[in-house]
Chains A and B, each alone.
Chain A
């Protein structure tokens, strides 16, 4: 009788012995996912952001000055992917200008071509502007204003023009196209920077926290000195020596961005390095690297994932502000910061500043909402009673 009661402890848990597949979520992760979904704002922000980001990855198919696909004298062409010399169509340029009426008519006569919905790339200059650049959105203009430009293509009213939905910038480039490409480059830059910076920061924090002692002391002091260097001055100095491109900027910003995560990761490693299961792993003879990755790192992941959206936000803001100051991406690149800069110097053209502001605000807000939802999802005290 007594034996049956005592052995209750050793009976298998009441939950059925359904074998869990390798990729099923553990209960705690399922709870986190539920918590995340329950934050409606963050959940929708994630989908909206993913939708925008994924479609911006295909920007060439949305806004481009070349056709996606064309047929010319029975031959199927893919101008999006391949540069065809203009000789092919009877012209003389090295790269075909498909917007040139002569070429366009030639192709249309011998075949057909399908343009993306917006027929401007980020660097396409619209030569048939109804008003001097920066030209306002086409729907803003009266037919009288459009008349001279429309006449070139045989029309007479605004609807006969190629529309610039949000106008053009001061060099006659379509704002919508620049926003799509600028959004893509900002997010990609931010993602790469945040990921690489996190990797470096986690590694540094892990080494500091796990080994402690002198390593920790020296690295901590080094980081303190390092972060006290004013990064903007350094950037300005460097950009006067090296021409800043995408990867040069990435490298320079990485020099400073990696310190963001060191503190939390170090703290988690300091806490976890004397857990009993870490000691047990040492007693089994596991190497330090294995213990760090397998046993201690998972403890630091919660703190890291919570901070990651905000690091991403910070990276994007840094790039935008550098572009705004003119120390960022090379001239001509589609950049949100540069659009804001144009808005500032062309106050008579409010469509520049407003659309730039709107896209940046939307992007940063979405990321912040996602970040908040992630933070709440990982909060162990959060209950939804």
Chain B
């Protein structure tokens, strides 16, 4: 680290004005980044980490946002006093950014060449052959194979990882001194995440740029950052070298964050238990139709010949990357989409059942969705949400009995039944997911499909939800079909594991076995990406 830091933020506050009210998002934070250094800004959603990073290049929505105090000194220049023209000259040049969602940060109507060429022409005046040559060089550098063939591609023709590589190429185009990366890997699959992180680390070594890396994932911090700043509710509660902070966290919140990873192991697989839900050679093919007569010319094989069995009191984990067909499989198990191949519930075939025939079975097969913000109707109170299934499935209940059942279900998932007449927006993400679980549990199901129930939640809340699910399973001898891409959560819950890729099973076996001795190369790759925390070089 050189003597004068590249970026020095002192006493920075960020507030927002809305409807005559002011709220403080960031409260007097200070941090430094030296040349060639990576600072990770860690915190849960809403802690103000993105807002802090965006204010470095003054990209907030001014004048709704304002800075009550502080200074941001980049290369000896105070960014808060710089005028708009000067800021424009700096953005994308000395400081560049990578955002979380590469699909929406790239213009869908521009080719890769135009996308990167624009930055080169704005800041360096390059055009024509020179710009093309530089673009190719950048694409090669970010590891896009055969870059010549990719120049004319549009963003939708690229995979998520490739899009993020293009974003990085754009950010690197003018060799910035500082790269701000706002959760650059959160939207990507684990194996791709690992590749992108490796790439960013390699590029940093080569160019000597500094990075401000925003993330909520401690695994990534340990892997890529030199120093870390932990944010909570708009303040930095702890800063220090990554190795020091991880070895010896000082602040209570940092300690809590470190301890928040889902812990504990599920009981080993018990094949004595009765099978609740099973499928054999399950196929879900979506036809591809072409031509005037809509002839079926082929199929997209979302799920292609998968067999599984979920036993009472046991959890079957289904793991795979996005597009592997795991969610489709879950929906088919619920008979929410059409599928081929026998599905057995308690020994009876249900794959021929229509919507009406399934209705009496719905109370036994329930689902919890990924996003607790999307899965609860914002216009119904908690009581109305939870009792909805009861009205259909248990019409014999009186109003009072139904309310008591709702109260009991809320109690069971750790919520205060007194809050049952409130609306979902009054609850936090974790509490909302508890409401969604209560909705499923109110019907006393025998099997619950859990479709990534933790991935929209903050790390510390994830651990609580896992503990809750484990408790409910033990009390009610529930069978879980647990769908996830997050191997840490799966390891904490699943007794048996199916690894899926492209609609097929790659590996299957008792969870402990698979985690300890993965057989397939793909499984090894997944495990390496999820659990490998190599420390940052010269950290």
Task: Say whether A associates with B.
Answer: yes
Nearest-CB residue, chain A, relative to B331: A279
CA distance A295 to B378 in the complex (A): 9
CA distance A2 to B253 in the complex (A): 7
- A5 near B252 (CB under 8 angstroms)? yes
- A279 near B19 (CB under 8 angstroms)? no
- A12 near B336 (CB under 8 angstroms)? no
User: In the complex, how many angstroms separate the beta carbon of B284 from the nearest chain A beta carbon?
Assistant: 16
| Interface membership of A9, Cβ < 8 A | yes
- A284 near B371 (CB under 8 angstroms)? no
- Contact for B461 among A9, A12, A284, CB less than 8 A: A9
- A15 near B20 (CB under 8 angstroms)? no
- A280 near B427 (CB under 8 angstroms)? no
- A285 near B392 (CB under 8 angstroms)? yes
| Interface membership of B359, Cβ < 8 A | yes
CA distance A383 to B63 in the complex (A): 13
Nearest-CB residue, chain A, relative to B451: A276
| Interface membership of B393, Cβ < 8 A | yes
| Interface membership of A275, Cβ < 8 A | yes
**B378-422 near A? 1/0 per residue, CB < 8 Å:** 011000000011001100000000000000000000111011011
**A137-154 near B? 1/0 per residue, CB < 8 Å:** 000000000000000000
- A17 near B418 (CB under 8 angstroms)? yes
Q: Which residues of A contact B423 (CB under 8 A)?
A: 26
| Interface membership of A20, Cβ < 8 A | yes
Nearest-CB residue, chain A, relative to B423: A26
CA distance A281 to B336 in the complex (A): 11
- B374 near A285 (CB under 8 angstroms)? no
- B255 near A2 (CB under 8 angstroms)? yes
- A5 near B430 (CB under 8 angstroms)? no
| Interface membership of A41, Cβ < 8 A | no
- B252 near A1 (CB under 8 angstroms)? yes
- A282 near B374 (CB under 8 angstroms)? no
Nearest-CB residue, chain A, relative to B44: A9
Q: Which residues of A contact B430 (CB under 8 A)?
A: 9-10
Tell me the residues in window 336-392 of chain B with beta carbons closer than 8 Å to chain A beta carbons: 336, 355, 358-360, 362-363, 365-367, 369-371, 374-377, 379-380, 388-389, 392
Indicate whether A283 sits within 8 Å of B366 (C-beta atoms), given known contacts A10-B431, A298-B379, A385-B18: yes
- Contact for A279 among B363, B369, B429, B464, CB less than 8 A: B369
| Interface membership of A286, Cβ < 8 A | yes
User: In the complex, how many angstroms separate the beta carbon of A34 from the nearest chain B beta carbon?
Assistant: 9
- A282 near B336 (CB under 8 angstroms)? yes
Q: Which residues of B contact A1 (CB under 8 A)?
A: 252, 255-256
Q: Which residues of A contact B370 (CB under 8 A)?
A: 276
- Contact for B464 among A6, A383, A385, CB less than 8 A: A6
Q: Which residues of A contact B302 (CB under 8 A)?
A: none
Tell me the residues in window 428-454 of chain B with beta carbons closer than 8 Å to chain A beta carbons: 428-431, 434, 436, 439, 443
| Interface membership of A13, Cβ < 8 A | yes
Tell me the residues in window 450-468 of chain B with beta carbons closer than 8 Å to chain A beta carbons: 458, 460-461, 463-464
- Contact for B443 among A5, A6, A276, A284, CB less than 8 A: A284
User: In the complex, how many angstroms separate the beta carbon of A169 from the nearest chain B beta carbon?
Assistant: 52
Q: Which residues of A contact B259 (CB under 8 A)?
A: 2
Indicate whether A286 sits within 8 Å of B371 (C-beta atoms), given known contacts A9-B431, A277-B376: no
Indicate whether A285 sits within 8 Å of B19 (C-beta atoms), given known contacts A1-B252, A5-B252: no
CA distance A330 to B58 in the complex (A): 68
User: In the complex, how many angstroms separate the beta carbon of A199 from the nearest chain B beta carbon?
Assistant: 20
CA distance A17 to B260 in the complex (A): 29
CA distance A384 to B19 in the complex (A): 5
CA distance A252 to B388 in the complex (A): 41
CA distance A285 to B359 in the complex (A): 5
- A9 near B428 (CB under 8 angstroms)? yes
- B362 near A285 (CB under 8 angstroms)? yes
- Contact for A277 among B255, B355, B358, B377, CB less than 8 A: B377
- A2 near B426 (CB under 8 angstroms)? no
Please count how many residues in chain B sit with their CB below 8 Å of the partner chain's CB atoms.
59
Tell me the residues in window 467-497 of chain B with beta carbons closer than 8 Å to chain A beta carbons: none
- A9 near B255 (CB under 8 angstroms)? no
Indicate whether A284 sits within 8 Å of B431 (C-beta atoms), given known contacts A6-B260, A279-B336: no
| Interface membership of A230, Cβ < 8 A | no
| Interface membership of B17, Cβ < 8 A | yes
CA distance A280 to B374 in the complex (A): 10
- B19 near A280 (CB under 8 angstroms)? no
| Interface membership of B64, Cβ < 8 A | yes
Q: Which residues of A contact B419 (CB under 8 A)?
A: 12-13, 17
- Contact for B17 among A26, A285, A385, CB less than 8 A: A385
| Interface membership of B39, Cβ < 8 A | no
User: In the complex, how many angstroms separate the beta carbon of A213 from the nearest chain B beta carbon?
Assistant: 12
Tell me the residues in window 275-303 of chain A with beta carbons closer than 8 Å to chain B beta carbons: 275-277, 279-287, 294-295, 298
| Interface membership of B172, Cβ < 8 A | no
- Contact for A283 among B362, B427, B431, CB less than 8 A: B362
- B393 near A285 (CB under 8 angstroms)? yes
Q: Which residues of A contact B367 (CB under 8 A)?
A: 279-280, 283
Tell me the residues in window 1-54 of chain A with beta carbons closer than 8 Å to chain B beta carbons: 1-2, 5-6, 9-10, 12-13, 15, 17, 19-20, 26-27
User: In the complex, how many angstroms separate the beta carbon of A376 from the nearest chain B beta carbon?
Assistant: 14
Nearest-CB residue, chain A, relative to B366: A283
| Interface membership of B98, Cβ < 8 A | no
| Interface membership of B277, Cβ < 8 A | no
- A12 near B416 (CB under 8 angstroms)? yes
- B426 near A15 (CB under 8 angstroms)? yes
User: In the complex, how many angstroms separate the beta carbon of B52 from the nearest chain A beta carbon?
Assistant: 21
Q: Which residues of B contact A277 (CB under 8 A)?
A: 374-377
- A280 near B464 (CB under 8 angstroms)? no
CA distance A342 to B23 in the complex (A): 62
Indicate whether A385 sits within 8 Å of B64 (C-beta atoms), given known contacts A10-B430, A281-B388: yes
Q: Which residues of A contact B20 (CB under 8 A)?
A: 384-385
User: In the complex, how many angstroms separate the beta carbon of A379 from the nearest chain B beta carbon?
Assistant: 14
- Contact for B392 among A15, A19, A286, CB less than 8 A: A286
**19 residue pairs from A and B, CB less than 8 Å apart:** A2-B256, A6-B460, A9-B461, A10-B414, A10-B431, A13-B428, A20-B421, A276-B375, A277-B374, A279-B375, A280-B367, A283-B366, A284-B392, A284-B393, A284-B439, A285-B359, A285-B362, A286-B392, A383-B18
Given A9-B428, A13-B428, 6 other A-B contacts at CB below 8 A? A2-B259, A9-B464, A13-B427, A276-B370, A276-B375, A294-B377
Q: For the complex of A and B, list the 8 residue pairs with the smallest distance between their C-beta atoms, beginning with the closest.
A: A285-B362, A284-B389, A2-B256, A276-B375, A276-B374, A285-B359, A9-B430, A277-B377
